[in-house]
Amino acid sequence: MGALRGSEQRRYDVAIVGAGFAGMYMLHRARSAGFTAVVFERGSGVGGTWYWNRYPGARCDVPSLEYSYQFSDDLQQEWEWSEKYATQPEILRYAEHVADRFDLRRDMVFDTEVLSMQWRDDSWLVSTRRITEPAGAVHGDDSSTIAARFVVLATGCLSSANKPRFPDDHRFAGHTYHTGAWPKDGVDFSGQRVAVIGTGSSGIQSVPMIATEAAHLTVLQRTPAYSVPARNQKMDPQYVAGVKANYKEFRRKNSLTRAALGGDTPTGPHGANEVGDDERRAALEARWQKGGLLFLGAFNDALTNPESNRLIADFVRDKIRSIVRDSDTARKLVPESIIGCKRLCVDTDYYDTFNRPNVSLIDLRETPIERFTEKGIMLGNTEHQFDAIVFATGFDAMTGAISKIEITGRDGLSLRDAWSAGPVNYLGLGVHGFPNLFTITGPGSPSVLTNMIVSIEHHVEWIADCLTWMSNNGKTTIEVQADAQEHWVQHVNTVAGMTLYTSCSSWYLGANVPGKPRVFMPLPGFPAYAQRCADVAQNGYVGFQT
């Protein structure tokens, strides 16, 4: 579809913001249910976070047989993943294949960002403008406005890059990159002195790869993260055949777990402090050898019992000390915090990379960044010279992309004002004061605590069913009721308060972005949440005014 220009204001049933996995499936479902729909996407292609995060080492940390759509059995049968955890290029190829297979692009407008949305009478006026990658430069005054009865924000949870400012950062004359907005043509670090700032999942995935290219790599770490080995491997054809022969059951088992993943590896039946030392070590060692996020599921109380958490964290701390040969580097890499409070990282050779002669680690808590210089960074009183600096500094998560859009709801209420003390909503799907507006995997839903694709499909199907129900019942508007929203916000806080998630400065809490209100945004527990959403629908969308 070409750009929508000037005054030709078109009307759609549904406008969708974002062409990642959520926006793509929302378009498909809306069209299949007989609605007219359009997708606006600021990138030049589909894929969302997998379009932008092209940094070396980027790959998913949920096995690809799970991190893929299940809505089409033909699709899941025909697509072949080459590795247990697919790389970013392979996931992007998959997204492009889905776009082709379901003929999605004809209703997508690329290189276009949504600037504002206004609720007028019975529909949304959505204003967009064309942009040019990579700098997001405005393309003349090529702006347009369309009208849509419904808007679905499929803007992604980790799509708005967080690039912290440092004193004199404009003075640095070398190249800078952000892992979440990586150049399409890649970067050749051969022979260069490179700094990576940040040691979350993106830093931990990219550091081992950059280390093999760069002349020297300096990792600037503010807080050490916990990481477990991925044990990635080529796909075993026999295993794939076994899953595909019974894919429905495989998916069903996954959907019954708290994180909607790993149904074949259930959470252990005991707490970590309910078993003896030998039994605990054996269970953790088995999960460590298996690799992946399910390490934390060895025991059932990792994120509810501080003593159990300490025992599990001790196991990982010992592993780090046993891998990293230099004791001072190992000391800096060993985290003191609650394991799993910040999202667990999954790596290939991360800790071992610090045994390489061309890699060094600087603990920013001991040696802070004073300022940038033309040639590098002043750390303490010493200038460290770099040819390139990589910001692996994460995202303004869950609300960042939404708050960039000027959204004005009923009676002139702005979403920024409504969310000034943190995001509030009902079921993570709708906000009081904003009729006919839905968010996919927004705050207040399990979202980033789950296999995202499962949560995306669940939300898309709930929204599409709701639109069909409205159409069948002659309803034109739907809006969250104030008391339902209030109770939901309390519910999310209560559930989060029963866990250890609120005990650290994570992006789940918005703590990584200066000035962002600290509110625990996702809701732990997929199965109970999905049941609640089903009950709401079955009871005539109770909690919504229609």
- CB of 345 vs ligand N01, minimal distance in Å: 7
Distance CA 330, CA 320 (A): 7
Pair of tokens at residue 324: 């990293």
**Do 49 and 75 meet the contact criterion of CB atoms below 8 Å apart?**
no
From candidates 222, 290, 375, 416, binder to ligand N01 by CB under 6 A: 222
From candidates 223, 255, 329, 441, binder to ligand N01 by CB under 6 A: 223
196 is a contact residue toward ligand N01 (CB under 6 A): no
**Do 334 and 317 meet the contact criterion of CB atoms below 8 Å apart?**
yes
Compute the Cα dihedral for 533, 18, 510, 180 and give only its sign: positive
Pair of tokens at residue 215: 């002349």
Stretch that binds ligand N01, among 273-281, 388-396, 402-410, 429-437 (CB under 6 A): 388-396
- CB of 420 vs ligand N01, minimal distance in Å: 23
Q: Tell me, what DSSP letter sits at residue 208?
A: H
Stretch that binds ligand N01, among 10-18, 196-204, 327-335, 457-465 (CB under 6 A): 196-204
Distance CA 224, CA 358 (A): 20
Residue with tokens 């004359």: 173
Q: Tell me, what DSSP letter sits at residue 397?
A: T
Backbone φ and ψ of 16, nearest 5° = -120, 130
From candidates 112, 145, 192, 199, binder to ligand N01 by CB under 6 A: 199
Stretch that binds ligand N01, among 108-116, 144-152, 202-210, 276-284 (CB under 6 A): 202-210
From candidates 14, 60, 401, 431, binder to ligand N01 by CB under 6 A: 60
DSSP 13-69: EEEEE--SHHHHHHHHHHHHTT--EEEE-SSSSS-THHHH---TT-B-SS-TTTSS-
Distance CA 340, CA 223 (A): 14
25 is a contact residue toward ligand N01 (CB under 6 A): no
Q: Tell me, what DSSP letter sits at residue 499?
A: S
Stretch that binds ligand N01, among 38-46, 121-129, 389-397, 467-475 (CB under 6 A): 389-397
394 is a contact residue toward ligand N01 (CB under 6 A): yes
Stretch that binds ligand N01, among 91-99, 263-271, 283-291, 386-394 (CB under 6 A): 386-394
**Do 343 and 504 meet the contact criterion of CB atoms below 8 Å apart?**
no
**Do 220 and 196 meet the contact criterion of CB atoms below 8 Å apart?**
yes
Q: Which is nearer to ligand N01, 240 or 364 (CB)?
A: 364
Distance CA 418, CA 413 (A): 7
Distance CA 406, CA 409 (A): 10
Stretch that binds ligand N01, among 20-28, 131-139, 199-207, 329-337 (CB under 6 A): 199-207
What binding mask, one character per residue, do residues 109-148 give for ligand N01 by CB under 6 A, x or -? ----------------------------------------
Among candidate residues 253, 346, 25, 302, the one with its CA nearest the CA of residue 154? 25
- CB of 209 vs ligand N01, minimal distance in Å: 12
Backbone φ and ψ of 126, nearest 5° = -110, 115
Backbone φ and ψ of 475, nearest 5° = -95, 140
Residues in the interface with ligand N01 (CB under 6 A) total 25
Distance CA 416, CA 110 (A): 26
- CB of 100 vs ligand N01, minimal distance in Å: 24
451 is a contact residue toward ligand N01 (CB under 6 A): no
Q: Within positions 165 to 184, which residues make up the interface with ligand N01, using CB under 6 A?
A: 179
Stretch that binds ligand N01, among 114-122, 236-244, 393-401, 411-419 (CB under 6 A): 393-401
- CB of 200 vs ligand N01, minimal distance in Å: 2
Q: Which is nearer to ligand N01, 200 or 268 (CB)?
A: 200
450 is a contact residue toward ligand N01 (CB under 6 A): no
* Burial group, residue 333, by CB count within 10 angstroms (0-12, 13-18, 19+): buried
From candidates 512, 520, 526, 529, binder to ligand N01 by CB under 6 A: 512
Pair of tokens at residue 307: 């003593």
Residues near 335 by beta carbon (within 8 Å), at least 6 away in sequence: 223, 224, 225, 226, 313, 317
- CB of 119 vs ligand N01, minimal distance in Å: 32
Q: Which is nearer to ligand N01, 54 or 432 (CB)?
A: 54
Among candidate residues 225, 230, 226, 292, the one with its CA nearest the CA of residue 261? 292
Q: Beta strand pairing status for 369-372 and 376-379?
A: antiparallel
What binding mask, one character per residue, do residues 325-364 give for ligand N01 by CB under 6 A, x or -? ------------------x--x-----------------x
- CB of 280 vs ligand N01, minimal distance in Å: 26
What binding mask, one character per residue, do residues 513-532 give for ligand N01 by CB under 6 A, x or -? --------------------
From candidates 23, 203, 208, 430, binder to ligand N01 by CB under 6 A: 203
- CB of 372 vs ligand N01, minimal distance in Å: 12
Report which residue's Cβ sits closest to ligand N01: 200
Residues near 433 by beta carbon (within 8 Å), at least 6 away in sequence: 409, 410, 411, 413, 418, 479
From candidates 201, 308, 348, 436, binder to ligand N01 by CB under 6 A: 201
From candidates 227, 308, 393, 425, binder to ligand N01 by CB under 6 A: 393
Q: Which is nearer to ligand N01, 54 or 149 (CB)?
A: 54
DSSP E strands in 216-265: the ranges are 216-221, 227-229
Q: Which is nearer to ligand N01, 397 or 489 (CB)?
A: 397
163 is a contact residue toward ligand N01 (CB under 6 A): no
- CB of 202 vs ligand N01, minimal distance in Å: 3
Sites of contact with ligand N01 (CB under 6 A)? 60-61, 158, 164, 179, 197-203, 205, 222-223, 343, 346, 364, 392-395, 448, 507, 512
